[in-house]
Amino acid sequence: KESEQRIATAVYNHNVAGLDLKRLIEGEGPLKLAQFSDELDKSDLELKHYEAYEVDLRALEKEGIANPVELGRINEKIRVLKDKYRSAKRRYDSYEKYVLPVMIESGRAKVKNTELAIEQVKQSSVHKIANAEAISQQARGQLKAVRLSLTKAENELKKTVIRAPQSGLLIHYEAFRSGEMRTPREGDTVIVNQPIMYLPDISSLAIKSQVRETDLYKIKVGQKATVLVDAYPEDRFEGELEFVGALAKKQTNMGSGEKYFQVVFSLTNGNDHLRPGMSAQIIVHIASLRDTLTIPIQSVFRDQGGDYCYLWNSVMHEKRYFTIGQQNEDFVEIKKGLEAGEIVSLVQPENVQ
């Protein structure tokens, strides 16, 4: 009776192993493979859609209808989709060529082992050694599967470790996440090749700013500038204009809708106290004048006849036209029309000759 129970148990195990193998071959395995295939097809279809869109944009560009912003966005989207497609392809190939075959082979080995177990039970004590060997073989197969799972888990764990290429100042990368511009937080989803943080080279710093469209004619690449950093008001740094943007951007946050161009200045004498993200004021050296006649900019008025001021002639104010040269926020250079020592009014007087 004990032998019958052992045989029944062995047959039951064999049937279970066969059902498990059949489920893997005909059910779970193909279903999982189909899921990976659908994911791959979806990635391929989406990639082809945006590549076709890029082709249309290129065609419109040749016809004179250029949209560089949209083209740049589509190129970035295509780059992300290509990475997504390659990732889906790797998952599909890995499961089809390695994971699923190993699982099927393991299932077949289990079925085979149960068959051997049945024979071993039937032969009982005659084949105890063979029975022990079968159990040992089954254990080795299970150990192999466990080691494969452990290796896979260790490889996945290694991918979660971020290693810096060198020591330095670490800054979180700010980007659009969940509809807002911010740095990454715990729990955020990270896609392939998405920047998370960076180590800036603070030995060479640059200052990004903007210049009004109406002042664009005053600047050019190579001009010198004085940089005042809010964090260190006593220090003065030397800068040089390196880049002037080609496209104006309208700013409507202040209600004026004035257009600005992006400019970049390089620092020629920075120090270790400066850090990325600091606020600074830039004074551009447009021109330097010596021994020239100037008047306060508040005293300059303008009408259809040109620029003029109100000159005090010891009795009343006289309206005097003149020719101006260079100017800044405080003074205007006088080319012709006024003499040194003459007195001008900063406001419009009531008694005018």
Instruction: Give me the average pLDDT of each 10-residue run along the chain (353 residues).
Output: 73 78 78 82 85 81 79 83 85 79 80 78 61 81 92 86 78 81 83 80 81 84 88 87 87 70 85 80 83 91 91 86 87 90 88 69
Q: Helix or strand or coil: residue 287?
A: coil
How far apart CA 331 and CA 49 sit, in angstroms, is: 59
Distance CA 141, CA 110 (A): 9
The answer for 192, left when phi > 0, alpha when psi is -120 to 50, beta otherwise, is: beta
DSSP string, 64-125: T---HHHHHHHHHHHHHHHHHHHHHHHHHHHIIIIIHHHHHHHHHHHHHHHHHHHHHHHHGG
Give the pLDDT confidence score for residue 131 in this predicted structure. Answer: 64
- Contacts made by residues 181-186, CB under 8 angstroms, sequence distance 24+: none
Position 295 scores a pLDDT of 92
Structure tokens at 188: 């955020």
CA pair distance 169, 276, nearest whole angstrom:
10
Quick check: helix, strand or coil at residue 15? Answer: helix
Q: Is the pTM value of this prediction over 0.85?
A: no
Which DSSP string do the residues of 156-204 spell out, in sequence order? HHHHT----SS-S--EEPPEEETTEEE---TT----TT---EE---TTS
256 alpha-carbon distance from chain centroid: 30
pLDDT (0 to 100) of residue 73: 83
Tell me the CA distances in angstroms from 58 to 37, 51, 76, 239, one per residue in order.
31, 10, 15, 39
